[in-house]
Each structure stands twice: as structure tokens, then as C-alpha cells.
Amino acid sequence: MTPTAQFDLASIAGRFQLGGDFITSSPYGSGHINDTFAVTVRLASGEARYVLQRINHLVFKRPDELMENVERVCAHAQRKLTASGQPDAHRRALRLIPTTDGKSWFIDAAGNRWRCYDFVEKATGHDVVRNANQAFQAARAFGAFQSLLADLPGGRLHETIPDFHHTPTRFARFQAALAKDAHGRADAAKPEITFALARAAEVSRVVDALRAGQLPERVTHNDTKLNNVLLDDVTQEGICVIDLDTVMPGSVLYDFGDLVRTSTSPAAEDETDLALVTMQFPMFEALVNGYLSSANGFLTSAEKRLLPFAGKLITFEIGLRFLTDWLEGDTYFKIKRPMHNLDRLRTQFKLVASIEAQASAMQNFVDQK
């Protein structure tokens, strides 16, 4: 997390229509990409909080296109939720706060891009799954999100990061980083590199099926880690899908796969005790049940059949990205310690191995649905 002191957050907050005076701000959440701050302001009626974010423009190279996507997605979701009579629609879809000149984002003097959302109170994005109901709720919410966006008007969304889930491209980049080994770090990851190279044959399965028209392209979230959906603190319902930067054309398998990656293991993504990392079958069952409770109406049989494989593929893909970032010198994901990416990639590959060991049981479970 970038230190708060680096930015004049009071003045940045002042560029948005917050309806009150700035009181305080502090770094918030545990995202790996943007800089996120909770901002408190004083209103006539009391206090209110907002989420102020600096968009990582090294990762998102076209913030104008990104924000156009986010505006469309937020507006459509809010419109549909309100039309369906949801009394708390304002908590169920993110709401952008306009700048004082009516835009959805602005660029500060240093070239940083900023945007602001209403804070969804009394809800939490969990880093680690605690029980099967959380897995169920998260998967149900992401299925409902995909369903909500199935009739998004205005044409295809921009691809905010091209080839984001093109696993063969990710694999090629890993191989290039390995060949270069610019920081002399390959030795430290020898077993993991062998593990990755042994799985080269499987990386094309989903993109090949998409290209062949055997899988449909849909509007998907593409970053469905557990902490990107807020669960209501009282009811535990999956109340609001957040982190909309990668909402773009994709496959539902990317979304379900990332849920398996982040919501089945009892260990944190950067856990150093690998004995704790395991794919817990009851969590997988809850994910499938939760996801089908909101997505079964639109899924094709080909999509459904590949749900278990998607868990393995996306866990492998993100592991590969951590490995690549390790080899390239930690330029992409925020790190908090020198070996952070190494720790992260190890948990991902341990989880892949655990998924592989349970693959046929996972497939049987889904096939019987």
C-alpha cells in the first residue's frame, strides 16, 4: 500500500462531489493493484465514508476506456436493480461519485488518475474463506452479476487488459522471463518452474474452445477473488461485487475458476506453511451450488462441464503470473516482503496439485447437477 502521506488526499477528495467537509482518510483493503483509501467527510446529518482510488496506470494503460466501462456497468446494474424493486439497490451495485466538474475521474498534477465510490457499509471483502456459506454466497453473487450484465446495452466493452486470461500468452511470457532470468531468481524457484513446464499442454483448452465457438463470450468480471465481493456483515449475503476494472468480454470459466482459487483453501494466498493449503471439497460443493443458483439459467452444457477444470486452470494461471513477476523482479503485483511473489506462487501450485488429486470427484459432483 502506498503511504497516505504521498498524496494530498484532502485536496483530491475535494475534487469530488462528496457533499461535506473532509475529516480524515486512511489506506484501505488488501488489493494488489490500485491504491485504495477510505475517506470520511462531515455531512449536515453526520459522517459519511467514501472509497477513493488511485487507478494503477502502469497496469491499466487506457484509464479513459476503463472508466467508460465502469460507468456503463455501474449505471446498468443500478438501473436494473432499482427497476426490479430492490429497496437497497444502492448497496448492491457500486456507485461512482462525480467530480466537481461532472466527470467520473480526474488526473492530478502528477498524472495520477483518481475515482471515488460510495462506501458500502456493514459489508466485508474477506481475504480467506471461513465457511461454506461464504463460498456459496460469493459464487451466487458473481453468477447474479454475470446475469445482470447479460443485456448490457452499448456494444462490446473495452478490453482493459488485452489477453488478461489468455493462459497460453501468460505461459509464453513466463517462458520468456525464464529464458532471460534477468534477476538471477530462477534457481530459487526450481521445483515450481519444473511444475509449471510440465503443465504446458493444458493451458490452451479454454481459449481454444472459445475460438472454436464451443464456448460463448460473455461479459465477465475476470477478477472474482473472494475479497472482490462484499458479504453483508449481518446476513452474510453476497451483497455487492466490486473491483470492476477488469469487467470485459471473457468466459464465465475465468470467473468460476478464480472463485475456486480463492474460496476453497483455508490458507491465505501468501501463506508460507504449504501444509495448510488444500482444496476443501465442501467449499467446492458450496461454490458450485451457489454459482448454479444464479447462473444455471444461462450456462451452456459445455461451460458447466468445464467448471472443475476452470478451477485448476485459473489457479495455475495466477500462479504462473506470480512466478513471472518473481522472475521479472516484482514489477506488477504489490509486494510487502522480498519473497512475497515466491510465497504466493507456491500456494497457487500447491492448490493446483490438490485440485488435480480431487479432479475426478469434482467432475462427478458437477456432472450430477
Residues that bind ligand GN1 (CB under 6 A): 31-33, 59, 223, 225, 228, 243, 245-246, 269, 318
Contact status: 262 vs Mg ion (CB under 5 A) = no
> Within positions 290 to 319, which residues make up the interface with ligand ADP, using CB under 6 A?
none
* Number of Cβ atoms within 10 Å of the Cβ of 359: 15
Instruction: Give the residue, chosen from 16, 31, 37, 129, that forms a contact with Mg ion under the rule CB under 5 A.
Output: 31
For residue 362, which amino acid is it?
M
Q: How far is the CB of 351 from ligand GN1 (least distance, A)?
A: 12
Alpha-carbon distance 193 to 181, whole Å? 12
Q: How far is the CB of 165 from ligand ADP (least distance, A)?
A: 16
Selection from 297, 369, 366 nearest residue 147 by Cα? 297
Q: How far is the CB of 31 from Mg ion (least distance, A)?
A: 4
Q: How far is the CB of 243 from Mg ion (least distance, A)?
A: 4
E strand or H helix that includes residue 27: strand 21-27
Contact status: 255 vs Mg ion (CB under 5 A) = no
Strand, coil or helix: 34: coil
Instruction: Give the residue, chosen from 40, 56, 146, 228, that forms a contact with Mg ion under the rule CB under 5 A.
Output: 228
> Interface with ligand ADP by CB under 6 A: which range of 13-21, 133-141, 153-161, 237-245?
237-245
Strand, coil or helix: 25: strand
Instruction: Give the residue, chosen from 16, 113, 125, 143, that forms a contact with ligand ADP under the rule CB under 6 A.
Output: 125
* Number of Cβ atoms within 10 Å of the Cβ of 102: 7
Torsion, CA 129, CA 264, CA 204, CA 194, rounded to 10: 100
E strand or H helix that includes residue 9: helix 9-13
Contact status: 73 vs ligand ADP (CB under 6 A) = no
In the complex, the residues that contact ligand ADP under the rule CB under 6 A are 28-29, 31-34, 36, 51, 94, 117, 119-120, 125, 227-228, 242-243, 245
